[in-house]
Amino acid sequence: MINFGLTKTLLATALATFLSAGLVGCANNKDGEPSSNTTTENTATTTTNQDLAANLQNNLIASGIDANIIATKATKVDGIYWVNAQGMPPFFTDATGQHIIQGPIIAVGTDKPTDIGADMIAEVAKQKLAAINTDEMIIYPAKGETKGIIYAFTDPTCPYCQKLHEELGDINAKGIEVRYLAWPRNQTAEPIMQSIWCSDDKKTAFAAAITENGAQSPKCETPIQQHTEIGFSLGVQGTPALFTESGEQIGGYLPPEQIANALGL
């Protein structure tokens, strides 16, 4: 069963909510876990990325946040580092690892504003999405030549997911393959998703779930927990959440023409 407390406490909620602001879709309404008010006395200056990762992890643990720091990378802003942590959306920190900076950092002064962390976040998303076995997804192939692929974190109880599903024919007709990943928004959706992913005919089960709340299928091993955690780590806080093969999140719900435009078709 999925733990519907957020993966890594309320910090994950704050980060992911900021990252997904402005997207059209159904919000996640899982209950968050309370975070600790414990503070840290660590004021050491970090001189290497390895030291920074260790200091940051110690500071998070001291504040009641159990997180595994995967990587830290220096950004173009002096003293600011980008952080990739298991089970959490990417975020920024300072050189001491004592402060977490939520949301994007925007560079100005050039032709257009630039999100300095966008490429780093997209690279993580690209790797994580590519690592998911296609047998674990529900795939709707393009009609004719495949010109583009999108990944969609979905929940059939979400009206915006239902709308996207209704338009799959038009999306596929534009040469776009759609790969569904399971992302139940709440405890009510979890058994419905379980039934879909345990069904012999997942496409029919998904369509039935939209109108009938899904038929109960025998329980089986599913990738739902994995998909959910991957979604959280990429900043997903609602459905649908659409990603390209390059790892760019192009939207929540988008009509077919806008999806094609986002893919450069």
243 in Cβ contact with 250 (< 8 Å): yes
DSSP 177-241: EEEEEE---STTHHHHHHHHHTSSSHHHHHHHHHHH----------SHHHHHHHHHHTT--EE-E
- List 26, 135, 179, 185, catalytic entry: 185
109 and 136, same structural domain?
A: no
- List 155, 198, 200, 201, catalytic entry: 155
User: How many structural domains is the chain composed of?
Assistant: 2
174 and 75, same structural domain?
A: no
161 is catalytic: yes
Report the CATH number at residue 171: 3.40.30.10
133 and 109, same structural domain?
A: no
Query: Closest by alpha carbon to 259, among 18, 27, 26, 24?
Result: 24
220 is catalytic: no
198 is catalytic: no
Quick check: is 123 in a domain? no
Q: What is the CA radius of gyration of the chain?
A: 19
From 94, 116, 138, the end of a domain falls on 116
195 and 94, same structural domain?
A: no
How confident is the model over 243-253, as pLDDT tens digits? 999 999 998 99
233: domain range? Answer: 129-262
98 and 199, same structural domain?
A: no
- List 31, 115, 161, 170, catalytic entry: 161
Q: How confident is the model at residue 85 (pLDDT cuts 50, 70, 90)?
A: confident
185 is catalytic: yes
How confident is the model over 32-47, as pLDDT tens digits? 332 333 333 333 333 4
202 and 139, same structural domain?
A: yes
157 and 239, same structural domain?
A: yes
Query: Closest by alpha carbon to 101, among 114, 120, 82, 85?
Result: 82
How confident is the model over 19-73, as pLDDT tens digits? 444 567 777 765 433 233 333 333 333 346 888 999 999 999 999 888 888 888 8
pLDDT higher at 124 or 182: 182
Quick check: is 124 in a domain? no
- List 94, 111, 158, 198, catalytic entry: 158
254 and 138, same structural domain?
A: yes
205 and 176, same structural domain?
A: yes
